[in-house]
Amino acid sequence: MNKVYVCLIADLLHAGHINILKKASKLGEVTVGLLTLKACGELNDIPYLDYEKRKEVLENISMIKEVIPQDSASYKTNLTNLRPDFVVHGDDWKDNNQKKYRSEVINILKEFDGELVEVAYSSDINNMQIKEQMSKLGITTTARQSRLRRLINAKPVVKILEVHNALSGLIAENASESLEDGELVTFDGMWSSSLTDSTSKGKPDIEAVDTTARLTTINEIFEVTTKPLIYDADTGGKPEHFEFTVRSLERTGVSAVIIEDKTGLKKNSLFGNDVAQTQDTIENFCHKIKCGKSAQITNDFMVIARIESLILEAGMDDALKRAFAYVEAGADGVMIHSRLKDPEEIIEFVTKFREKDKTTPVVVVPTSFNSVTTDEFADIGVNVVIYANHMLRAAYPGMMNVAKSILKHKRTLEAEPDCMKIKDILELVPGTK
Ligand code: SPV
Ligand code: MG
């Protein structure tokens, strides 16, 4: 009997999959290599269902003899072990982000005279279209909230974009870029920044905008988006107040909160020691983390501890000591911050932290050390990169220039090239017509 290998995610099974399996089972005994969450992450295609649930469905399909895990987007390990006579795949991978894996499969099959059989892919039905339709329907609070943990587990690095209103939320939701190797890149989620939320309300970043106002903004963002959101809760306030914040965030569907280990009147970290800022004691901050963790009611919500030792020039040893203490106290992740342009101290922190702790998610906010790419952060063991203020910083100069131009020219003719076309703004938000 010939051995046939088919690789699947099998999240949303449809007629296209059945067509491939029919073809495969005619050729011999079918082994399905089911992509694990990590492998799906490499393809930027995070399934709704976990591995075991997807496996159970496939195991009950009579055309399939066996389901084995494929732990990487590359077929290499499974094909080398199994040495199948045939690999069957839809022909859509000739031009999509799986192109390079297709070439690899062809080369591996040559080693033992295997053959690649490609089935014409039904263009009227595909996963991406189904997922797009589903996301248009919206998302439940729980599905959005749990998504961040799934993304962190699945992807080498999670990319988060700052949002300060629903319109910037739409950018985080929809912006995409096709890279040279065919990979389509998008943002994974959103950051509600204390700096840009306060600034867009004309207030300083000193915890002057209360949680209710912050949540109103988030609800507006959530009305038009489906991606997960990380909330910047500044110091988290008093532990007793932080417990309520955690509950409110969870109820809204926020995935994670980041609190920083400062106390007293909070000032933005990027001032560093140029303004008076006090770091909390390890003991107090651990207590606050514990209060937050015991207040949450879902398993998925994350409390992430932000270490300000490098910002306040308290040294690397202090930063590391705090990181380990905060994890010990129950933090689901650590964020390390720096205001130096040179990424050296961030790299040193992450490397030293990873020597002792291989799993706790590490978050960075590369506003100052902006030369490092997301891929480079992934390579040193960072899990989440937050682009923390760029949407608002991009919008403000554009608006100011146009306002000045109107004053100068006493009309808008000269400002038009710097403005979006009226036709485009009318069509920007679906349903305007
Ligand atoms: C924010 O975006 O509000 C942050 C990051 O807390 S930073 O401004 O760099 O402190
Ligand atoms: Mg902040």
CA-proximal residue: ligand 1, atom 10 (nearest): 269
Instruction: Report the 10 Å Cβ neighbour count for 264.
Output: 11
Domain boundary among 128, 162, 178: 128
C-beta 194 within 6 A of ligand 1: yes
Structure tokens at 382: 């960072």
Residue 167 domain-assigned?
yes
Return residues with CB closer than 5 A to ligand 2 (ion): 194-195, 232
CATH number at residue 13: 3.40.50.620
Q: Torsions phi, psi of 159, nearest 5?
A: -105, 125
Provide the pLDDT for residue 125.
Answer: 64
Per the structure, how many domains does the chain have?
A: 3
Q: How far is it, in rounded angstroms, from Cα 415 to Cα 330?
A: 53
Percent of the chain with pLDDT over 90: 81
Residue 422 domain-assigned?
yes
191 to 63, 143, 330: CA distances (angstroms): 45, 18, 22
pLDDT tens readout for residues 294-329: 999 999 999 999 999 999 999 999 999 999 999 999
Which ligand 1 atom is at minimum distance from the Cα of 337? 9
C-beta 232 within 6 A of ligand 1: yes
Residue 66 domain-assigned?
yes
Please give the residue range of the domain that contains residue 226.
138-388
Measured from the alpha carbon of residue 195, the closest ligand is: 1
Q: How far is it, in rounded angstroms, from Cα 304 to Cα 425?
A: 38
| 119 shares a domain with 146 | no
| 361 shares a domain with 217 | yes
| 239 shares a domain with 341 | yes
Sheet holding 115-119: strands in order across?
66-70, 29-35, 3-8, 86-90, 115-119
Residue 433 domain-assigned?
no
Question: Helix (H) and strand (E) counts for the chain?
Answer: 17, 17
Residue 96 or 362, more confident = 362
Using the mean position of ligand 1's atoms as its centre, give its distance from the Cα of residue 194 in Å.
6
pLDDT tens readout for residues 61-114: 999 999 999 999 999 999 999 999 999 999 888 877 788 899 999 999 999 999
C-beta 311 within 6 A of ligand 1: no
C-beta 199 within 6 A of ligand 1: no
pLDDT at 427 over 90: no
Which one of 194, 257, 310, 311 would you pick to mutate in the ligand 1 pocket, going by the greatest count of ligand atoms within 8 A of its CB? Answer: 194
Percent of the chain with pLDDT over 70: 98
pLDDT at 414 over 90: yes
| 218 shares a domain with 75 | no
C-beta 365 within 6 A of ligand 1: yes
Domain boundary among 87, 107, 128: 128
* Residues designated as active site: 205
Give the model's confidence band at 123: pLDDT under 50 very low, under 70 low, under 90 confident, else very high: low
